[in-house]
Homo-oligomer: A and B are copies of this chain.
Amino acid sequence: MSPEPTLEAPPRGVRPVRFTATARDAGSAARAGRLDTPHGPVETPAFMPVGTQATVKGLTPDQLREAGSRMLLANTYHLALRPGEETVAALGGLHRFMAWDGPILTDSGGFQVFSLAQRAKITDHGATFRSHLDGRLLELTPERAVAIQEALGADVAMCLDQCPALPAEKAEIARAVDRTIAWAARCQDARRRPDQALFGIVQGGAHEDLRGRCAEALIAMDFDGYAVGGVSVGESREEVRRALDVSVHLLPEDRPRYLMGVGRPQDLLDAVHAGIDMFDCVMPTRNGRNATCFTDAGPVKLRNAAHARDPRPLEEGCDCLACSRFSRGYLRHLFLAREMLGPILASIHNLAYLHRLTRRMREAIRAGRFVQLRLDVLEALGP
């Protein structure tokens, strides 16, 4: 059910999620912390697997938890189209629907409107587009993005933002920043659920002044957390680093910082170095379905003939289901035979790998050796 429109907005300052930094690295902006949510705490830095359609592809909630997942992301655009947020609400909300009793974050739907929907048209009012499923004409405004997310009922909702595709003229990015700021204010005004946090999204491409302007405007609106958006959409590693540094140093210390759509191990190390606390990405599960697995020695491609009779696990020392029970030879067989269990096991490993990497980062930050850990892991991973 959507919340009653007569409800008042929740008072500012009462935070549905609260972030506490528990340790800071001396040699970087890295920090370890805890995000308390209505569905329990999450230690940060944290990686969130993506459950696009209210399921992380092929994995049960127990398998996710065993792999180390604590907080999931679900996609508002996909769920609003199918089964529809009213159906999710009628079935008890997203947590009950997908049987995940840990924290969940939903994106605003904007990114998919711009990347997946057909003939999206954007005005200051919002976006109109046609569903990629059935061509229905639909509208996504800041108010609607909040209403859908409140019906879904995740612990954290995201503001509708505009993320221009790169490369783009600076003037175009500036217009997107203006719109992102205006939409963030409308999202803040539209919220009604006192048990759902709302994060603002800093845009601005690789332009220091635009990032700064966006961050300052959003900070003045006092969001529960802040995301850095518009990264991982085609820019160079150096541009990403600059966008991060510029965005992060302005953000308040007592709010979580979330880098959207980033999941390469190297990028996680860089982003935590820059002060980021949270991540999401389809990469571990998408790569896993495609037989490519993270290891500390770099990617392993399970279809490779070299693995045919290899009795060793995918990664020595990994305690995930794939590595503790199965050989590389068996995993290769599953992929060649097009068996579902291959993508399932590879996805489990890739998630376990990223969750282990975030745990190692947390421990290193607490022990004051994050900079060294980052260099060691980057060197082992290779280019």
A residues in contact (CB < 8 Å) with B: 53-55, 57-63, 78, 82-83, 87, 90-92, 97-99, 308-309, 311, 321, 325-327, 329-330, 332-334, 336-337, 339-341, 343-345
* Contact (Cβ within 8 A) B83 A329: yes
Q: In the assembled complex, which residues on chain B have CB atoms less than 8 Å from the CB atom of A339?
A: 53, 55, 57
Closest CB-CB distance, A294 to chain B, in whole Å? 20
Residue of B nearest to A81 (CB): B337
Residue pairs across A and B with Cβ atoms less than 8 A apart, 8 shown, are: A53-B334, A53-B337, A53-B339, A57-B340, A90-B309, A91-B311, A97-B329, A98-B330
Q: Are A330 and B53 in contact (CB under 8 A)?
A: no
Which of B63, B90, B330, B345 lies in contact with A54, CB distance below 8 A?
B330
Given contacts A309-B91, A330-B54, contact A343 B340 (CB under 8 A): yes
- Are the CB atoms of A58 and B61 closer together than 8 Å? no
Please tell me how many copies of the chain the complex holds. Answer: 2
Chain B contacts for A98, CB-based, 8 A: 330
| Cα(A341)–Cα(B340), bound, Å | 10
With a cutoff of 8 Å between Cβ atoms, the chain B residues found around residue A329 in the complex are 83, 87, 90-91, 97
Please tell me if the beta carbons of B309 and A341 are within 8 angstroms of each other in the complex.
no
In the complex, A98→B330 CA distance in Å? 7
CB distance from A382 to the nearest CB of B (A): 28
> Which residues of B sit under 8 angstroms from A330, Cβ to Cβ?
54, 91, 97-99
Closest to A89 in B: B309
Given contacts A60-B344, A90-B309, A99-B330, 15 further A-B contacts (CB under 8 A): A53-B339, A55-B337, A57-B340, A60-B321, A60-B341, A60-B345, A82-B336, A83-B337, A90-B329, A91-B309, A91-B329, A92-B311, A98-B330, A99-B325, A340-B344
A53 contacts across to B, CB distance below 8 A: 333-334, 337, 339
Complex Cα gap A339–B337 (Å)? 19
Residues of B within 8 A of A78 (CB): 337
Q: Cβ of B344 and Cβ of A58 under 8 Å apart? A: yes
Q: Quick one: closest B residue to A91, CB to CB? A: B329
Instruction: Tell which of A63, A97, A343 has the most Cβ of chain B within 10 Å.
Output: A97
Q: Which residues of B contact A87 (CB under 8 A)?
A: 308-309, 329, 333
Most chain B beta-carbon neighbours within 10 Å: one of A82, A92, A341: A341
CB distance from A67 to the nearest CB of B (A): 12
Q: What CA separation (Å) do A344 and B58 show in the bound complex?
A: 8
In the complex the two chains form, is B55's CB within 8 Å of A58's CB?
Answer: no
Q: How far is the CB of A359 from chain B (nearest CB, A)?
A: 23
Across the interface, do A58 and B336 meet the contact criterion of CB distance under 8 Å?
no
CB-defined contacts of A92 to chain B, threshold 8 Å: 311, 327
| A347 and chain B: residue at smallest CB distance | B340
Q: Whole-angstrom distance between the alpha carbons of A170 and B58 in the complex?
A: 48
Judge whether B333 and A82 touch: CB under 8 Å: yes
Give CA–CA (A58, B54) in the complex, Å.
19
Cα distance A332–B88 in the bound complex, in angstroms: 12
On whether the beta carbons of B308 and A61 are closer than 8 Å, the reply is no
Q: Which residues of B contact A311 (CB under 8 A)?
A: 90-92
A58 contacts B60, C-beta separation under 8 Å: no
Contacts of A55 on B, CB cut-off 8 Å? 334, 337, 339, 341
CB-based nearest B residue for A311: B91
Query: A103: shortest Cβ distance to chain B, in Å?
Result: 18
Known: A60-B321, A309-B87, A321-B60. A340 touches B337 (CB 8 A): no
**Bound: A59/B92 CA distance, A:** 27
Contacts of A321 in B (CB 8 A): 60, 62
Closest to A92 in B: B311
**A83: chain B residues within 8 A (beta carbon):** 308, 329, 332-333, 336-337
